[in-house]
Amino acid sequence: MNNINRSFSDLSEMETYIADCEENFFSQVKAASLAICGDKSVKFILLSGPTCSGKTTTAGKICEELEKAGKNVKVISIDDFYLSRDFINGENIDFESAEAIDLDYFAECIEKLSAKKPTQLPVFDFVSGVRTGYVNFTPTDDTIIVFEGIQALYPEIASLIPSESRKIVFVNVFNDFYAYDRAFTREEIRFWRRMIRDYKFRGASPDTTLKLWQNVVANEKKNIIPNIPMADIKIDSFLPYEINVIGRYLTKEITYDINNKNETLLCDTFRHIFDTIPQIPGELVPSTSVFREFIG
Protein backbone atom coordinates (compact mmCIF):
# COMPACT_ATOMS: atom_id res chain seq x y z
CA MET A 1 0.00 0.00 0.00
CA ASN A 2 1.48 3.35 -1.06
CA ASN A 3 2.07 5.95 1.62
CA ILE A 4 1.22 9.53 0.68
CA ASN A 5 2.11 12.25 3.18
CA ARG A 6 2.90 15.68 1.77
CA SER A 7 3.09 19.06 3.44
CA PHE A 8 3.45 22.36 1.63
CA SER A 9 5.15 25.57 2.68
CA ASP A 10 3.79 27.67 -0.15
CA LEU A 11 1.78 27.68 -3.39
CA SER A 12 4.89 26.96 -5.43
CA GLU A 13 5.34 23.60 -3.74
CA MET A 14 1.68 22.80 -4.36
CA GLU A 15 1.98 23.69 -8.04
CA THR A 16 5.10 21.54 -8.41
CA TYR A 17 3.38 18.58 -6.74
CA ILE A 18 0.33 18.94 -8.98
CA ALA A 19 2.53 19.18 -12.09
CA ASP A 20 4.39 16.00 -11.12
CA CYS A 21 1.13 14.08 -10.59
CA GLU A 22 -0.29 15.33 -13.87
CA GLU A 23 2.88 14.39 -15.73
CA ASN A 24 2.71 10.85 -14.35
CA PHE A 25 -0.85 10.50 -15.61
CA PHE A 26 0.02 11.95 -19.01
CA SER A 27 2.95 9.57 -19.35
CA GLN A 28 0.48 6.69 -19.10
CA VAL A 29 -1.70 8.27 -21.79
CA LYS A 30 1.35 8.80 -24.00
CA ALA A 31 2.47 5.18 -23.57
CA ALA A 32 -1.03 3.94 -24.41
CA SER A 33 -1.15 6.09 -27.55
CA LEU A 34 2.26 4.85 -28.70
CA ALA A 35 1.18 1.24 -28.19
CA ILE A 36 -1.93 1.85 -30.28
CA CYS A 37 -0.08 3.66 -33.08
CA GLY A 38 2.62 1.02 -33.07
CA ASP A 39 0.14 -1.66 -34.08
CA LYS A 40 -0.98 -0.90 -37.64
CA SER A 41 -3.74 -3.50 -37.48
CA VAL A 42 -5.63 -1.64 -34.72
CA LYS A 43 -8.76 0.09 -36.02
CA PHE A 44 -10.85 0.04 -32.86
CA ILE A 45 -10.23 1.05 -29.27
CA LEU A 46 -12.56 -0.13 -26.53
CA LEU A 47 -12.12 2.24 -23.60
CA SER A 48 -13.74 1.16 -20.36
CA GLY A 49 -13.68 1.85 -16.66
CA PRO A 50 -16.06 1.94 -13.71
CA THR A 51 -18.04 5.01 -12.73
CA CYS A 52 -15.98 8.16 -12.09
CA SER A 53 -12.74 6.56 -13.21
CA GLY A 54 -12.09 9.38 -15.67
CA LYS A 55 -12.99 7.56 -18.90
CA THR A 56 -14.22 10.61 -20.80
CA THR A 57 -11.18 12.79 -20.15
CA THR A 58 -8.78 9.91 -20.74
CA ALA A 59 -10.47 9.10 -24.04
CA GLY A 60 -10.11 12.72 -25.08
CA LYS A 61 -6.41 12.82 -24.21
CA ILE A 62 -5.70 9.57 -26.07
CA CYS A 63 -7.54 10.96 -29.09
CA GLU A 64 -5.44 14.11 -28.99
CA GLU A 65 -2.25 12.05 -29.04
CA LEU A 66 -3.50 9.85 -31.87
CA GLU A 67 -4.44 12.91 -33.91
CA LYS A 68 -0.96 14.34 -33.35
CA ALA A 69 0.32 11.09 -34.85
CA GLY A 70 -1.78 11.72 -37.96
CA LYS A 71 -4.74 9.49 -37.15
CA ASN A 72 -8.35 10.37 -37.90
CA VAL A 73 -10.16 9.62 -34.64
CA LYS A 74 -13.88 9.12 -34.03
CA VAL A 75 -15.24 8.70 -30.49
CA ILE A 76 -18.50 6.79 -30.14
CA SER A 77 -20.33 6.35 -26.85
CA ILE A 78 -21.63 2.82 -26.36
CA ASP A 79 -24.47 4.39 -24.37
CA ASP A 80 -25.95 5.46 -27.71
CA PHE A 81 -26.55 1.79 -28.50
CA TYR A 82 -28.98 1.36 -25.60
CA LEU A 83 -32.29 -0.29 -26.38
CA SER A 84 -35.47 1.62 -25.66
CA ARG A 85 -35.96 1.94 -21.91
CA ASP A 86 -39.60 0.85 -22.28
CA PHE A 87 -38.47 -2.35 -23.94
CA ILE A 88 -35.88 -2.98 -21.26
CA ASN A 89 -38.35 -2.47 -18.45
CA GLY A 90 -40.91 -4.59 -20.21
CA GLU A 91 -38.44 -7.45 -20.53
CA ASN A 92 -37.14 -6.99 -16.99
CA ILE A 93 -33.59 -6.50 -18.27
CA ASP A 94 -30.84 -5.11 -16.05
CA PHE A 95 -30.08 -1.64 -17.45
CA GLU A 96 -26.41 -2.09 -16.52
CA SER A 97 -26.03 -5.40 -18.34
CA ALA A 98 -25.07 -6.15 -21.95
CA GLU A 99 -28.69 -7.15 -22.56
CA ALA A 100 -29.59 -3.46 -22.42
CA ILE A 101 -27.43 -2.83 -25.50
CA ASP A 102 -28.67 -3.31 -29.05
CA LEU A 103 -25.97 -5.87 -29.81
CA ASP A 104 -27.38 -6.72 -33.23
CA TYR A 105 -27.15 -3.13 -34.41
CA PHE A 106 -23.75 -2.71 -32.75
CA ALA A 107 -22.50 -5.72 -34.73
CA GLU A 108 -23.97 -4.26 -37.93
CA CYS A 109 -22.17 -0.97 -37.34
CA ILE A 110 -18.87 -2.76 -36.65
CA GLU A 111 -19.19 -4.65 -39.93
CA LYS A 112 -19.77 -1.44 -41.90
CA LEU A 113 -17.06 0.52 -40.10
CA SER A 114 -14.57 -2.30 -40.68
CA ALA A 115 -15.37 -2.21 -44.39
CA LYS A 116 -15.03 1.61 -44.48
CA LYS A 117 -18.67 1.90 -45.52
CA PRO A 118 -21.13 4.70 -44.64
CA THR A 119 -22.58 3.95 -41.24
CA GLN A 120 -25.58 5.33 -39.37
CA LEU A 121 -24.53 5.73 -35.75
CA PRO A 122 -27.42 5.82 -33.26
CA VAL A 123 -28.24 8.72 -30.94
CA PHE A 124 -29.88 7.85 -27.61
CA ASP A 125 -31.75 10.37 -25.48
CA PHE A 126 -31.54 9.58 -21.77
CA VAL A 127 -34.39 11.90 -20.83
CA SER A 128 -36.95 10.11 -22.98
CA GLY A 129 -35.11 6.79 -22.85
CA VAL A 130 -35.35 6.14 -26.59
CA ARG A 131 -33.19 6.30 -29.71
CA THR A 132 -33.92 9.67 -31.29
CA GLY A 133 -32.05 9.39 -34.57
CA TYR A 134 -28.81 8.62 -36.37
CA VAL A 135 -25.62 10.38 -37.41
CA ASN A 136 -23.99 9.49 -40.72
CA PHE A 137 -20.30 8.62 -40.57
CA THR A 138 -17.89 7.15 -43.10
CA PRO A 139 -14.44 6.07 -41.88
CA THR A 140 -11.27 6.53 -43.90
CA ASP A 141 -8.22 4.27 -44.16
CA ASP A 142 -6.50 6.04 -41.24
CA THR A 143 -9.57 6.23 -38.99
CA ILE A 144 -9.41 4.79 -35.49
CA ILE A 145 -12.76 4.29 -33.78
CA VAL A 146 -12.87 4.76 -30.01
CA PHE A 147 -15.84 3.11 -28.30
CA GLU A 148 -16.12 4.62 -24.82
CA GLY A 149 -18.26 3.34 -21.95
CA ILE A 150 -18.37 0.96 -19.01
CA GLN A 151 -19.74 -1.71 -21.36
CA ALA A 152 -16.60 -1.65 -23.52
CA LEU A 153 -15.12 -4.35 -21.30
CA TYR A 154 -18.16 -6.62 -21.50
CA PRO A 155 -17.32 -9.82 -23.45
CA GLU A 156 -20.62 -9.50 -25.36
CA ILE A 157 -19.36 -6.18 -26.77
CA ALA A 158 -15.66 -6.96 -27.18
CA SER A 159 -16.33 -10.27 -28.95
CA LEU A 160 -18.03 -8.42 -31.81
CA ILE A 161 -14.72 -6.85 -32.81
CA PRO A 162 -11.88 -9.09 -34.07
CA SER A 163 -9.15 -9.21 -31.42
CA GLU A 164 -6.43 -8.44 -33.97
CA SER A 165 -8.05 -5.10 -34.89
CA ARG A 166 -8.74 -3.78 -31.39
CA LYS A 167 -7.06 -2.58 -28.23
CA ILE A 168 -8.92 -2.59 -24.92
CA VAL A 169 -7.99 0.26 -22.59
CA PHE A 170 -9.14 0.12 -18.98
CA VAL A 171 -9.13 3.22 -16.78
CA ASN A 172 -9.51 3.05 -13.01
CA VAL A 173 -8.22 3.99 -9.60
CA PHE A 174 -6.20 0.83 -9.09
CA ASN A 175 -4.68 1.00 -5.63
CA ASP A 176 -5.57 1.58 -2.02
CA PHE A 177 -3.17 3.88 -0.20
CA TYR A 178 -2.24 5.30 3.19
CA ALA A 179 -2.13 9.04 3.81
CA TYR A 180 -2.08 11.30 6.85
CA ASP A 181 -2.54 8.46 9.34
CA ARG A 182 -5.49 6.92 7.50
CA ALA A 183 -6.05 4.14 4.98
CA PHE A 184 -7.97 5.12 1.85
CA THR A 185 -9.54 2.67 -0.59
CA ARG A 186 -9.80 2.98 -4.34
CA GLU A 187 -13.58 2.72 -4.08
CA GLU A 188 -13.70 5.67 -1.67
CA ILE A 189 -11.91 7.92 -4.14
CA ARG A 190 -14.40 7.16 -6.90
CA PHE A 191 -17.35 7.49 -4.52
CA TRP A 192 -16.19 10.95 -3.46
CA ARG A 193 -15.60 11.95 -7.08
CA ARG A 194 -19.12 10.81 -7.95
CA MET A 195 -20.72 12.56 -5.00
CA ILE A 196 -19.23 15.89 -6.07
CA ARG A 197 -19.99 15.35 -9.76
CA ASP A 198 -23.59 14.28 -9.15
CA TYR A 199 -24.22 17.18 -6.79
CA LYS A 200 -22.67 19.85 -9.00
CA PHE A 201 -23.79 18.67 -12.41
CA ARG A 202 -26.70 16.24 -12.02
CA GLY A 203 -28.70 17.77 -9.20
CA ALA A 204 -28.36 14.69 -7.00
CA SER A 205 -28.33 14.95 -3.21
CA PRO A 206 -25.56 13.22 -1.23
CA ASP A 207 -28.14 10.74 0.07
CA THR A 208 -29.21 9.88 -3.48
CA THR A 209 -25.63 9.14 -4.53
CA LEU A 210 -25.10 7.11 -1.37
CA LYS A 211 -28.20 4.98 -1.99
CA LEU A 212 -27.25 4.34 -5.62
CA TRP A 213 -23.66 3.45 -4.79
CA GLN A 214 -24.40 -0.07 -3.55
CA ASN A 215 -25.97 -1.04 -6.88
CA VAL A 216 -23.15 0.65 -8.79
CA VAL A 217 -20.53 -1.40 -6.94
CA ALA A 218 -22.58 -4.59 -7.34
CA ASN A 219 -22.66 -4.11 -11.12
CA GLU A 220 -18.92 -3.46 -11.21
CA LYS A 221 -18.21 -6.66 -9.31
CA LYS A 222 -20.49 -8.61 -11.63
CA ASN A 223 -19.81 -7.13 -15.07
CA ILE A 224 -16.51 -5.22 -14.94
CA ILE A 225 -14.00 -6.51 -12.39
CA PRO A 226 -14.01 -10.13 -13.67
CA ASN A 227 -13.20 -8.88 -17.19
CA ILE A 228 -10.21 -6.66 -16.35
CA PRO A 229 -7.75 -9.35 -17.55
CA MET A 230 -9.12 -8.73 -21.07
CA ALA A 231 -7.60 -5.24 -21.10
CA ASP A 232 -4.49 -4.70 -23.21
CA ILE A 233 -3.66 -1.36 -21.56
CA LYS A 234 -4.39 -0.13 -18.03
CA ILE A 235 -4.31 3.52 -16.97
CA ASP A 236 -4.44 4.63 -13.34
CA SER A 237 -6.41 7.88 -13.14
CA PHE A 238 -5.68 8.59 -9.47
CA LEU A 239 -3.80 11.82 -8.92
CA PRO A 240 -2.21 11.75 -5.44
CA TYR A 241 -2.78 15.48 -4.95
CA GLU A 242 -6.55 15.07 -5.22
CA ILE A 243 -6.64 13.88 -1.61
CA ASN A 244 -5.51 17.41 -0.76
CA VAL A 245 -8.11 19.07 -2.99
CA ILE A 246 -11.26 17.02 -2.66
CA GLY A 247 -11.90 17.74 1.02
CA ARG A 248 -12.94 21.32 0.40
CA TYR A 249 -15.52 20.23 -2.15
CA LEU A 250 -16.94 17.55 0.15
CA THR A 251 -17.13 19.77 3.22
CA LYS A 252 -17.65 23.29 1.85
CA GLU A 253 -19.37 23.12 -1.53
CA ILE A 254 -22.03 20.49 -0.83
CA THR A 255 -25.07 21.49 1.21
CA TYR A 256 -26.17 18.68 3.49
CA ASP A 257 -29.71 18.22 4.79
CA ILE A 258 -29.49 18.46 8.59
CA ASN A 259 -32.75 16.51 8.84
CA ASN A 260 -31.33 13.59 6.89
CA LYS A 261 -29.31 11.24 9.10
CA ASN A 262 -27.38 9.78 6.18
CA GLU A 263 -26.29 13.21 5.01
CA THR A 264 -25.35 14.53 8.44
CA LEU A 265 -23.27 11.39 9.01
CA LEU A 266 -21.53 11.87 5.67
CA CYS A 267 -20.82 15.51 6.47
CA ASP A 268 -19.40 14.67 9.91
CA THR A 269 -17.29 11.87 8.42
CA PHE A 270 -15.80 14.11 5.73
CA ARG A 271 -15.00 16.85 8.23
CA HIS A 272 -13.26 14.34 10.47
CA ILE A 273 -11.22 12.86 7.61
CA PHE A 274 -10.10 16.09 5.97
CA ASP A 275 -9.74 18.33 9.02
CA THR A 276 -6.05 17.46 9.43
CA ILE A 277 -5.13 16.97 5.75
CA PRO A 278 -3.23 19.88 4.15
CA GLN A 279 -5.53 21.49 1.62
CA ILE A 280 -4.62 22.56 -1.90
CA PRO A 281 -6.93 25.17 -3.50
CA GLY A 282 -8.99 23.75 -6.34
CA GLU A 283 -8.03 26.75 -8.43
CA LEU A 284 -4.58 25.24 -8.85
CA VAL A 285 -5.93 22.16 -10.63
CA PRO A 286 -5.16 22.49 -14.37
CA SER A 287 -8.18 22.97 -16.63
CA THR A 288 -7.02 19.92 -18.64
CA SER A 289 -6.80 17.61 -15.62
CA VAL A 290 -8.84 14.42 -15.45
CA PHE A 291 -9.84 15.62 -11.96
CA ARG A 292 -11.77 18.48 -13.58
CA GLU A 293 -14.22 15.86 -14.82
CA PHE A 294 -15.58 15.71 -11.28
CA ILE A 295 -15.05 19.13 -9.72
CA GLY A 296 -15.77 21.22 -12.82
> What pLDDT is attached to residue 87?
62
For residues 32 and 132, state if they share a domain: yes
Mean pLDDT, range 257-286, rounded to an integer: 95
For residues 40 and 136, state if they share a domain: yes
Confidence check: pLDDT of 231 > 90: yes
For residues 286 and 267, state if they share a domain: yes
> What pLDDT is attached to residue 259?
95
pLDDT digit string (tens) for 209-222? Answer: 999 998 889 889 98
For residues 253 and 145, state if they share a domain: no
> What pLDDT is attached to residue 235?
97
> What pLDDT is attached to residue 91?
57
For residues 35 and 167, state if they share a domain: yes
For residues 25 and 163, state if they share a domain: yes
For residues 88 and 205, state if they share a domain: no
Q: Is residue 56 part of a domain?
A: yes
CA distance 52 to 175: 15
Which SS3 state, helix, strand or coil, does residue 291 take?
Answer: coil
The residue range of the domain holding 117 is 11-172
Which SS3 state, helix, strand or coil, does residue 234 take?
Answer: strand
Q: Is residue 284 part of a domain?
A: yes
Enumerate long-range contacts of 67-74, CB under 8 Å, 24 or more apart. Answer: 69/33, 69/37, 70/142, 71/37, 71/142, 71/143, 71/144, 72/139, 72/140, 72/142, 72/143, 72/144, 73/143, 73/144, 73/146, 74/137, 74/139, 74/143, 74/144, 74/145, 74/146
Q: Which of 172, 198, 214 is the last residue of a domain?
A: 172
> What pLDDT is attached to residue 94?
63
More confident residue, 93 or 228: 228
Q: What is the CATH number of the domain that holds 76?
A: 3.40.50.300
Count how many domains the chain has: 2
pLDDT digit string (tens) for 141-190? Answer: 889 999 999 899 999 999 999 999 999 999 999 999 999 989 999 999 99
Confidence of residue 99 (pLDDT cuts 50, 70, 90): confident
pTM for this entry = 0.90
Crossing angle of helices 261-274/206-219, nearest 10°? 80
Q: Which of 151, 172, 193 is the last residue of a domain?
A: 172
